[in-house]
């Protein structure tokens, strides 16, 4: 490691600026073994990589000795010009070999590093996809994305920069110090005396750099969060509607100005670090030439040895500086691995049983048998480090559903009605097994959903929620998400059934039209109809509608309602309705109150009963009649 190389000294500076508090963190047992498991597929590449690093270190020590040999031959006129030319050519050959080794080292480093990134990212992404909905309702998206980016990259550096740095620095330091001691132990010891003059101030600078870097990371994260919130469609609309762009710009400039100031301060500390290292190296070189020259005049040392010592000295301080903080480097990489393993070790609450069976193709019934349910606690589904605000929860889980029992026969339409928070959506979420019951059984096709294969359960059930989500992609891509092998005819048939084919044909780009972030380029009714078309393309035997027309105007609601008629035709249907006007001739109505089935029956039966449903009906339709009178 050459101290005269700015890249080398900056790498050493990064070592000092890393927060040494990571060394105080206790890593779980077995972390090292798991890291070695990650490296196992790359053991051949790692072997070649380390061999090349060792070769480069050896060349770095041999070259100064050959240069000193040339000086000795010239000074003593020993040998011929041919000998000197041959040694010079040998030095040139070593330089070429070192360049080739450098390219090989970089290739293996990239191969190993990018491979580790690929493996870890793929594993984390696949694992997170299996997590339950409760995980995503608690987890901060930015923190989760950081695990896939920053921590994965930090982990792969353990196999590239950290590992190669430790190996090359140790070998380079041992070889360099050993050769220097054989040439002149006096000069070597005096050179080492100057090390504290650099290392001790560097540690003080490093502490300040850690504080600056930590603040910089925090401010950058805050700016990123601000941009993410303000640049999505909903955030941009809010800023414009409330007329706050000037205030937002001023707030952002304040954060950006602080990042700018920190950047200038960090650059000056970095330059001071580099200057101090260069100065100490220059002083040591002057010492070598001064003391070495005196020893050469006294006959204790040759001129070539003085030159070799000066050249070797430039390779002594870099490794010493880097190894002074090697524990922090290693621990930083291991902590990154531990943060990745932390996500991988969080077991999904919804897992497929080893002996799971597919949902029977001919039976599309739904049955709730004495079902009780309480939402899982944070410790069961999430990690405090993935939540922006994580507070301890007091008490145990609170039951949301209590002894809920009902049955939906194949082809029937059952409506769930009740006030907000009564438990209707929770019931709907238990059917496709977004959550698992805490008591009782939910059956689809006559089998417990916990014993059904997840693929067959997802294939059997289609859901249209009140806030239909569309990916920032084309209409075609959003439809094909439900059925990737669908033909063009099937796509248009689904759009026709959802009463939106005419609109799609009228668009300049037709089915290739990009719907925008979360589908914001489409109106609410158009988004809902595209979501219905997606379900029609999937062609499930069971359809769940969760307030599918809750936020639509009367015209859009009418269009969506016609599309829903096509979606529900011939299918087992579970419909959640806050407005009773959206229910059309259900076979059964369940009134949900406080997590219980308070009443059940047909529309006429429940009205005749004069209970909660009758109260809901009178309240809602009285409001409608009153509005009609006021408008008239």
Residue ranges in 403-464 assigned as alpha helix (H): 424-430, 454-460
Mean pLDDT, to the nearest integer, of 354-377?
88
Task: Let me know whether 425 and 486 are in one domain.
Answer: yes
SS (H, E, C) 305-337: HHHHHHHHHCCCHHHHHHHHCHHHHHHHHHHHH
Task: Let me know whether 336 and 374 are in one domain.
Answer: no
pLDDT at 330 over 80: no
**Domain CATH code at residue 449:** 3.40.50.300
Q: Higher confidence at residue 384 or residue 339?
A: 339
Name the least confident of 387-401, 459-473, 516-530.
Answer: 387-401
pLDDT at 30 over 50: yes
> Where does the pLDDT of residue 443 fall: very low under 50, low under 70, confident under 90, or very high at 90 and above?
very high
**Domain CATH code at residue 102:** 1.20.1560.10
Task: Let me know whether 328 and 443 are in one domain.
Answer: no
Closest residue by Cα to residue 563 from 500, 474, 480, 479 = 500
Q: Residue 191: what pLDDT?
A: 77
Q: Higher confidence at residue 554 or residue 161?
A: 161
Name the least confident of 52-66, 215-229, 367-381, 488-502.
Answer: 215-229
The tokens for 149 are: 């980016």
Q: Residue 403: what pLDDT?
A: 92
Name the least confident of 108-122, 150-164, 188-202, 379-393.
Answer: 379-393
Task: Let me know whether 188 and 94 are in one domain.
Answer: yes
User: If DSSP codes are grouped into helix, strand and coil, which group holds residue 89?
Assistant: helix
Q: Residue 221: what pLDDT?
A: 62
Task: Let me know whether 280 and 406 are in one domain.
Answer: no
Alpha-carbon distance 184 to 15, whole Å? Answer: 31
Task: Let me know whether 533 and 621 are in one domain.
Answer: yes
Most confident of 135-139, 159-163, 542-546: 542-546
Mean pLDDT, to the nearest integer, of 382-402?
62
The pLDDT > 70 percentage for the chain reads 78
Q: Higher confidence at residue 624 or residue 401?
A: 401
> Where does the pLDDT of residue 357 fall: very low under 50, low under 70, confident under 90, or very high at 90 and above?
very high
Would residue 551 count as lying in a domain? yes
Task: Let me know whether 420 and 542 are in one domain.
Answer: yes
Task: Let me know whether 274 and 372 are in one domain.
Answer: no
pLDDT at 219 over 60: yes
> Where does the pLDDT of residue 279 fall: very low under 50, low under 70, confident under 90, or very high at 90 and above?
confident
Provide the 10 A C-beta neighbour count for residue 173.
20
Q: Residue 370: what pLDDT?
A: 93
Name the least confident of 64-68, 226-230, 371-375.
Answer: 226-230
Would residue 134 count as lying in a domain? yes
Would residue 36 count as lying in a domain? yes
pLDDT at 440 over 90: yes
Q: Higher confidence at residue 539 or residue 632?
A: 539
Alpha-carbon distance 488 to 211, whole Å? Answer: 59
pLDDT at 300 over 90: no
User: If DSSP codes are grouped into helix, strand and coil, which group holds residue 429?
Assistant: helix
Task: Let me know whether 495 and 588 are in one domain.
Answer: yes
Closest residue by Cα to residue 272 from 209, 319, 321, 196 = 209
Mean pLDDT, to the nearest integer, of 323-331?
67
pLDDT at 229 over 60: yes
Alpha carbon separation from 461 to 172, 301, 405, 454, 483 (Å, rounded):
64, 87, 20, 11, 13
Contact present, 590 and 417 (Cβ < 8 Å): yes
Task: Let me know whether 466 and 340 are in one domain.
Answer: no
Mean pLDDT, to the nearest integer, of 116-139?
82
User: If DSSP codes are grouped into helix, strand and coil, which group holds residue 383?
Assistant: coil
Mean pLDDT, to the nearest integer, of 88-104?
91
Please name the residues in contact with 631: beta carbons below 8 A apart, sequence gap of 6 or more: none
Would residue 359 count as lying in a domain? no
529-550 per-position pLDDT tens digit? 888 888 888 888 898 888 766 5
Name the least confident of 32-41, 183-192, 248-257, 323-332.
Answer: 323-332
Would residue 352 count as lying in a domain? no
Residue in the block written with tokens 């090359």: 168
Q: Residue 367: what pLDDT?
A: 93
Mean of pLDDT over the chain: 78
With vertex at residue 212, the alpha carbon angle to CA 206 and CA 214, rounded to the nearest 5 degrees, is: 100
Closest residue by Cα to residue 580 from 542, 606, 543 = 606
Alpha-carbon distance 405 to 32, whole Å? Answer: 51
User: Could you write out the DSSP letters of every residue in 95-123?
Assistant: HHHHHHHHHHHHHHHHHHHHHHHHHHHHH
User: If DSSP codes are grouped into helix, strand and coil, which group holds residue 131?
Assistant: coil
Closest residue by Cα to residue 316 from 161, 177, 441 = 177
Name the pairing type of β-strands 542-546 and 399-408.
Answer: unpaired
The tokens for 614 are: 């009758």
Alpha carbon separation from 250 to 183, 231, 243, 255, 594 (Å, rounded):
64, 16, 14, 9, 47
The tokens for 54 are: 């060792």
Alpha-carbon distance 1 to 166, whole Å? Answer: 11
pLDDT at 97 over 90: yes
Name the least confident of 162-171, 174-183, 431-440, 560-569.
Answer: 560-569
Task: Let me know whether 339 and 372 are in one domain.
Answer: no
Alpha-carbon distance 378 to 390, whole Å? Answer: 9
Q: Residue 505: what pLDDT?
A: 92
Would residue 355 count as lying in a domain? no
pLDDT at 629 over 50: no
Mean pLDDT, to the nearest integer, of 341-366?
85
Would residue 390 count as lying in a domain? no
Mean pLDDT, to the nearest integer, of 92-111?
90
Residue in the block written with tokens 């269009």: 559
> Where does the pLDDT of residue 581 fall: very low under 50, low under 70, confident under 90, or very high at 90 and above?
low
Residues of the domain holding 489? 366-378+397-631
Mean pLDDT, to the nearest integer, of 75-87?
76
Alpha-carbon distance 478 to 531, whole Å? Answer: 9
Q: Higher confidence at residue 368 or residue 160?
A: 368
Would residue 561 count as lying in a domain? yes
> How many folded domains does the chain comprise?
2
Please name the residues in contact with 208: beta carbons below 8 A apart, sequence gap of 6 or more: 269
pTM: 0.70
Residue 458: CA count within 13 A, CB half-sphere: 8
Alpha-carbon distance 442 to 571, whole Å? Answer: 19
> Where does the pLDDT of residue 582 fall: very low under 50, low under 70, confident under 90, or very high at 90 and above?
low
The pLDDT > 90 percentage for the chain reads 11
465 forms beta bridges with 546
Alpha-carbon distance 476 to 488, whole Å? Answer: 9
Q: Higher confidence at residue 366 or residue 520?
A: 366
pLDDT at 397 over 90: no
Alpha-carbon distance 440 to 448, whole Å? Answer: 10
Q: Residue 512: what pLDDT?
A: 92
Task: Let me know whether 28 and 120 are in one domain.
Answer: yes
Is residue 603 exposed (0-12), middle (13-18) or buried (19+ Cβ within 10 Å)? middle
Alpha-carbon distance 138 to 345, whole Å? Answer: 17
């Amino acid at each position: 490691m050459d101290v005269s190389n700015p890249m080398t000294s900056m790498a050493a500076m990064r070592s000092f600026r890393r927060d040494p508090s990571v060394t105080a963190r206790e890593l779980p047992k077995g972390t090292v073994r798991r890291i070695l498991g990650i490296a196992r597929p790359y053991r051949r590449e790692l072997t070649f990589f380390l061999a090349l690093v060792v070769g480069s270190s050896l060349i770095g020590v041999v070259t100064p000795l050959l240069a000193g040999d040339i000086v000795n031959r010239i000074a003593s006129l020993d040998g011929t010009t041919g000998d000197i030319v041959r040694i010079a050519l040998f030095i040139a050959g070593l330089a070429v070999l070192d360049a080739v080794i450098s390219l090989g080292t970089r290739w293996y480093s990239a191969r190993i590093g990018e491979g580790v990134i690929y493996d870890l990212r793929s594993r984390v992404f696949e694992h997170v996809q299996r997590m339950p909905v409760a995980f995503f309702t608690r987890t901060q998206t930015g923190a989760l994305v950081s695990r896939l980016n920053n921590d994965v990259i930090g982990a792969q550096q353990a196999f590239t920069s950290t590992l190669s740095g430790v190996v090359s620095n140790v070998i380079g330091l041992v070889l360099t110090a050993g050769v220097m001691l054989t040439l002149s132990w006096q000069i070597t010891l005096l050179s080492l005396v100057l090390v504290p003059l650099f290392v001790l101030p560097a540690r003080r600078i490093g502490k300040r750099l850690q504080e600056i870097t930590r603040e910089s990371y925090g401010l950058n994260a805050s700016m990123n969060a601000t941009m993410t919130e303000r640049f999505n469609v909903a955030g941009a609309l809010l800023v414009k509607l409330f007329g706050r762009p000037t205030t937002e710009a001023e707030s952002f400039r304040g954060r950006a100005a602080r990042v700018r100031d920190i950047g200038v301060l960090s650059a000056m500390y970095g330059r001071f670090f580099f200057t101090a290292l260069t100065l100490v190296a220059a002083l040591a070189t002057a010492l070598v030439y001064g003391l070495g020259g005196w020893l050469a005049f006294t006959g204790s040392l040759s001129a070539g040895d003085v030159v070799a010592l000066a050249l070797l000295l430039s390779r002594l301080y870099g490794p010493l500086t880097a190894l002074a903080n090697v524990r922090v480097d290693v621990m930083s990489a291991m902590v990154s691995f531990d943060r990745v393993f932390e996500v991988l070790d969080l077991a999904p609450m919804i897992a497929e049983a080893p002996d799971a069976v597919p949902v029977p193709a001919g039976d599309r019934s739904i049955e709730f048998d004495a079902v009780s349910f309480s939402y899982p606690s944070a410790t069961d589904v999430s990690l405090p480090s993935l939540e922006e605000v994580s507070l301890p929860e007091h008490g145990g889980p609170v039951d949301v559903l209590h002894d809920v029992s009902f049955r939906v026969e194949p082809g029937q339409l059952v409506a769930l009605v009740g006030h907000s928070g009564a438990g209707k959506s929770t019931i709907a979420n238990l059917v496709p097994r977004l959550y698992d019951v805490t008591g009782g059984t939910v059956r689809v096709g006559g089998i417990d959903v916990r014993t059904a294969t997840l693929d067959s359960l997802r294939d059997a059930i289609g859901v249209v929620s009140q806030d239909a989500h569309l990916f920032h992609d084309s209409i075609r891509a959003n439809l094909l998400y439900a059925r990737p092998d669908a033909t063009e005819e099937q796509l248009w048939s689904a759009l026709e059934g959802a009463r939106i084919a005419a609109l799609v044909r009228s668009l300049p780009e037709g089915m290739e039209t990009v719907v925008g972030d979360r589908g914001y380029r489409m109106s609410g009714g158009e988004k809902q109809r595209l979501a219905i078309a997606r379900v029609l393309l999937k062609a499930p035997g069971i359809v769940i509608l969760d307030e599918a027309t809750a936020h639509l105007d009367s015209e859009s609601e009418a269009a969506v309602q016609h599309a829903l008629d096509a979606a529900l035709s011939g299918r087992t249907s579970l419909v959640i309705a806050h407005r009773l006007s959206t229910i059309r001739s259900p076979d059964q109505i369940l009134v949900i109150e406080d997590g219980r089935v308070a009443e059940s029956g047909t529309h006429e039966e429940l009205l005749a009963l004069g209970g909660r449903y009758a109260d809901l009906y009178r309240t809602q339709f009285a409001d409608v009649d009153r509005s009609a009178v006021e408008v008239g």
